[in-house]
Amino acid sequence: MSNTIQPHAVFKHIIVDRSGSMSSFQGKHIDMCHRLLMETQEEAEKSGVKTLISLTTFDDRINYPMDLLDPTVEEMPDQSQLRKMLYPRGSTRFNDTLIEELEKLESHADYCRKTLPLALRRLDPLIVTIVIAITDGYDNVSDNSTETCRNMMNAYRKNGGKAILMAANMDAEIVGSNYGFNSDRCITVHNSNEEAIESGFRSIGRLQREMTLGLEVTPITHIERVSSCPMANHQIGFANVDLQTVPTLVMQPPVLTRQHHALAWNDTIDTEQLQDNQAEI
């Protein structure tokens, strides 16, 4: 990896649970998602680093309301639009969604590197990939198991990928570790406390800023954790739960195929060629 701190490009995927139980957030997570998008836009404009952002929503289905948009060119959705995108409904398809997004991120980064001009490729520029996952419950409809997610996440992180988890109704550090996340980048939020939700999103914002700038990431602090979940004693405890034993998971998942994109990646990124099918699956 290059010693240059500033990345050559940033791919950021935000995946947000919109299952029925997310109604307990009373819309506060929508306001905070809007803030994350606006912060990403501001960072991209200030840094000059080519940034492509995607927003994926899921319940028992998956939607792609934003797919590889350049925040310095495209308008970010406003809060009214986000409310329609994130209106709570359905079940929780977390495992399959996470795996698909990690595959996309790795595919984007691979094509970016392979299609750089040779002279630039030899410098091994930093290409940052970030996935931010926001959920409030356990998967109950996916085909892929927690073990498959963990293996995929470990491989993704080994290749330099960055990941953040914000979770409610569970111990995010323990659950995140079981999914292959770095527990230092997983935070539990109290989903019915507005100040706690804001604190959790501030922590996520700090983490993703450090990742976006290619800086060393500071672990989530004790103060951040307490502020994000001030009623920890009321949380459901999952310390002894092995998510692989959840009966709704299929332990031998089908093989996922990676969608390859024919990219032209020179000094600029051809976002049209990078875009995936935005239709609902």
Interaxial angle between packed helices 94-114 and 146-158, expressed in degrees from 0 to 180 and rounded to the nearest 10: 20
Q: Are 47 and 209 in contact (CB under 8 A)?
A: no
- Would you give the end-to-end CA distance of the chain in angstroms? 36
Q: Which of 18, 35, 52, 154 is nearest to 99 (CA)?
A: 154
CA distance 171 to 175: 6
CA distance 60 to 253: 17
- pLDDT > 70 fraction of the chain, expressed in percent and rounded: 80
Amino acid identity, residue 138? Answer: Y
Read off the pLDDT of each residue in 132-150 and give the average, rounded to a whole number.
95
Residue 270 is predicted with a pLDDT of 53
E-state strands within 125-229:
127-135, 162-167, 186-188
pLDDT at residue 134 tops 60: yes
Query: For 52-102, how does the pLDDT look when each residue is reduced to its tens digit (9 = 90+)?
Result: 999 999 999 999 999 999 999 999 999 999 999 999 999 999 999 999 999
Residue 119 DSSP SS3: helix
E-state strands within the chain:
9-17, 50-58, 62-69, 127-135, 162-167, 186-188
Give CATH for domain 9-274.
3.40.50.410
pLDDT at residue 220 tops 60: yes
CA distance 70 to 170: 34
- In this structure, what are the phi and psi dihedrals at residue 239, rounded to the nearest 5 degrees? -60, -30
CA distance 189 to 95: 20
Q: Are strands 62-69 and 50-58 parallel, antiparallel or unpaired?
A: antiparallel
Number of Cβ within 10 Å of residue 245's Cβ equals: 9
Which residue shows structure tokens 């994109």? 261
Q: Are 159 and 110 in contact (CB under 8 A)?
A: no
- pLDDT > 90 fraction of the chain, expressed in percent and rounded: 77
Q: Are strands 127-135 and 62-69 parallel, antiparallel or unpaired?
A: unpaired
Query: For 182-206, how does the pLDDT look when each residue is reduced to its tens digit (9 = 90+)?
Result: 999 999 999 989 999 999 999 999 9
Residue 132 is predicted with a pLDDT of 98
pLDDT-based confidence at residue 230 (cuts at 50, 70, 90): confident
Query: For 1-47, how does the pLDDT look when each residue is reduced to its tens digit (9 = 90+)?
Result: 444 478 999 999 999 999 999 999 999 999 999 999 999 999 999 99
Instruction: At 127, list the tokens.
Output: 């290409």
pLDDT at residue 280 tops 80: no
Number of Cβ within 10 Å of residue 125's Cβ equals: 17
Contacts (Cβ under 8 Å, ≥6 apart) of 115: 263, 264, 265, 266
